[in-house]
Amino acid sequence: MFQAVYLDKPADRLEAGIRALPDDALPEGDVLVRVEWSTLNYKDGLAITGKAPVVRKYPMVPGIDFAGTVEASQHPAWQPGDRVLLNGWGVGEGHWGGLAQKARVRGDWLLARPENLSARQCMAIGTAGYTAMLCVLALERHGVLADSGEVLVTGAAGGVGSVAIQLLARRGYRVVASTGRIEAAGEYLRGLGAAEVIDRAQFSAPGKPLGRERWAGAVDSVGSHTLANVCATTRYGGVVTACGLAGGMDLPATVAPFILRGVTLAGIDSVMAPLPLRQAAWTALAAEIDTDKLDDMTRVIPLAEAIPAAAELIAGQVRGRLVVDVNA
């Protein structure tokens, strides 16, 4: 038996609780993993609160990522005792996920955990941090380098934003953090490496097709008017990486930044990202993440607390990252 967050929807009403489940209830897969740590990502918050149709079938064990140790394997790449992690691939959405003490998944979905990071540190980074690195790699692939100019990070005090600031600052970028929590989180954001902290309100309302050019690049986890205004204020030839929808899924923009300033809007998806890109992101994270800063931005919660914390996360009240000790 193992403990898991368990979502069910009898009579169209979402129920979320902790359940003890037998191993043979686990879905099909060629690798059985003893999960040590998981995390609460924005998408897990949506799944647990039911605020968006993230879960594709019920009952579901949520949790889009986990870190643990292989217990049994029919997959040629993995042996019992191997230290693994998983992000995405529809786990926690269509296949039982990581907010549990055990998971059975396809071996092709697993990555070896970096040697220098513990299971807990891998999950402190989690899908949010791995996505932040995908954004950084995309900025560089499109030619935005440390000396190109300022890089804006929106949703700065959230999980993706917090890790993005740290990674960009370490690579030498001048990072401007946009947040709705200047008073509460300003010092925290500067501690992560933000050179300047600005009020997100300036991006929240409908704006003009083009504004004063400022950003060489941007990491946007907010979407909607924020993303439109960020594109409108990006410099000629700049690059905006769009990875999130914390402020809305719409994009009320014009084509002006793209056709008049050659701005590139680069979409970032972590769920189905191909293996070489994942490996590159985790290799770079293992080399560059500051584990002291990572600790500062992380709160540890036990499995049962994942349910109330989900609502807090969706309300934008969580600072940094929530790591889930599935065995507590």
Residues that bind ligand NDP (CB under 6 A): 41-43, 127-128, 131, 155-161, 179-181, 200, 204, 221-222, 226, 243-247, 268-271, 313, 316, 318
Work out how close the CB of 263 gets to ligand NDP at its nearest, in angstroms, rounded to a whole number.
19
Work out how close the CB of 168 gets to ligand NDP at its nearest, in angstroms, rounded to a whole number.
15
Spatial neighbors of 24 by CB under 8 A, at least 6 apart, are none
Q: CB-wise, 128 or 192, nearer to ligand NDP?
A: 128
Report the distance separating Cα 272 and Cα 181, nearest Å: 32
Tokens of 191: 């501690």
Report the distance separating Cα 220 and Cα 245, nearest Å: 9
Output the DSSP codes for 91-128.
Answer: BTTTB--SSBSEEEE-GGG-EEPPTTS-HHHHHHHHHH
Q: CB-wise, 21 or 322, nearer to ligand NDP?
A: 322
Report the distance separating Cα 88 and Cα 277, nearest Å: 13
Report the distance separating Cα 16 and Cα 26, nearest Å: 18
- The H-assigned helical ranges of the chain are 42-49, 119-141, 159-170, 182-192, 201-204, 224-232, 256-260, 275-288, 291-296, 306-314
Work out how close the CB of 316 gets to ligand NDP at its nearest, in angstroms, rounded to a whole number.
4
Q: CB-wise, 252 or 262, nearer to ligand NDP?
A: 252
Report the distance separating Cα 107 and Cα 30, nearest Å: 6
Work out how close the CB of 11 gets to ligand NDP at its nearest, in angstroms, rounded to a whole number.
28
Contact assessment for residue 65 and residue 127, using Cβ atoms and an 8 Å cutoff: yes
Work out how close the CB of 248 gets to ligand NDP at its nearest, in angstroms, rounded to a whole number.
7
Q: CB-wise, 32 or 163, nearer to ligand NDP?
A: 163
Q: CB-wise, 73 or 179, nearer to ligand NDP?
A: 179
CB atoms inside a 10 Å sphere around CB 234: 28
Tokens of 69: 């140790």
Nearest residue to ligand NDP, by Cβ distance, number only: 158
Q: CB-wise, 92 or 161, nearer to ligand NDP?
A: 161
Q: CB-wise, 148 or 241, nearer to ligand NDP?
A: 241
Work out how close the CB of 290 gets to ligand NDP at its nearest, in angstroms, rounded to a whole number.
18
Query: b or e along 43-74 (b: 16 or more beta carbons within 10 Å of the residue's beta carbon)?
Result: bbbbbbbbeeebbeeebbbbbbbbbbebbebe
Q: CB-wise, 26 or 297, nearer to ligand NDP?
A: 297
Work out how close the CB of 124 gets to ligand NDP at its nearest, in angstroms, rounded to a whole number.
12
Work out how close the CB of 87 gets to ligand NDP at its nearest, in angstroms, rounded to a whole number.
8
Tokens of 310: 């989900």
